[in-house]
Chain A
Amino acid sequence: DTGVSQNPRHKITKRGQNVTFRCDPISEHNRLYWYRQTLGQGPEFLTYFQNEAQLEKSRLLSDRFSAERPKGSFSTLEIQRTEQGDSAMYLCASSSPGTALYEQYFGPGTRLTVT
């Protein structure tokens, strides 16, 4: 399968714990995006990478959140000291440098539940 992959698919954690999610974009896609989706809502933009550079961060991305893409391939999203309000689906998307900005392809998401 050559689509965007995300791991784990589900994560249950206790409040106050740290969690890390991984996203592997489509091969050769140099742009990578993180979104958060809560129940009954559309995805909300969190951050964007072009290669290894993080070019934009939403104000939704508080100090407890950090994202990296160290070699311009896979990316990780870490949430420190999780809160119940962090419970959501975390979606990763990627796009190719050869296409316009609108062609973002999404992965299956990581569903986080904070108890």
Chain B
Amino acid sequence: QKEVEQDPGPLSVPEGAIVSLNCTYSNSAFQYFMWYRQYSRKGPELLMYTYSSGNKEDGRFTAQVDKSSKYISLFIRDSQPSDSATYLCAMSESGTYKYIFGTGTRLKVLA
């Protein structure tokens, strides 16, 4: 079993829809939770980060962490075709430097 599980998709939604992207994990020591967006043949771009449990909102993006369920989510409101990309979750333990990434979910927002 991988430490971080993420549905690879692809996930297709119409423009304007609310998108929900999720990751589950098995390592209870993870404290930092990140979401990256990666366009085809580009490097990952940091979108959101959260420490421990709770919610964080930034514009159209909301990140949620439920440590009791070992489950994190990224919500995208009013999705746009420009949001079409692969979304990667990443996690790390406190005091370590390496991120453990999910496989990424491919998202397509249809105009």
Contacts and interface: CB of A to CB of B under 8 A. Distances in A.
Interface stretch (A66-74, A76-84, A103-111): A103-111
Contacts of A26: none
Given A102-B49, A108-B42, A111-B41, A44 B96 contact: no
Contact of B98 (A40, A58, A100, A109): A58
Contacts, number: 65
A114 B97 CA distance: 29
B92 A40 contact: no
A103 B88 CA distance: 14
B43 to A, nearest CB: 4
Contacts of B21: none
A101 B32 CA distance: 9
A98 to B, nearest CB: 15
A21 interface: no
A62 interface: no
Interface string A83-101: 0000000010000000011
B44 interface: yes
A31 B97 contact: yes
Interface string B55-86: 00000000000000000000000000000000
A56 B43 contact: no
B43 A48 contact: no
A33 B17 CA distance: 36
Interface string A29-64: 001010100001111110010000001101000000
Contacts of A56: 97-98
B88 to A, nearest CB: 5
A48 B97 contact: yes
Contacts of A108: 42-43
Interface of B: 4, 6, 8, 32, 34, 36, 41-46, 49, 51, 88, 90, 92, 95-104
Given A101-B96, A111-B41, 11 more contacts: A33-B98, A40-B104, A42-B88, A42-B101, A42-B104, A43-B44, A43-B88, A55-B97, A91-B44, A102-B34, A102-B51
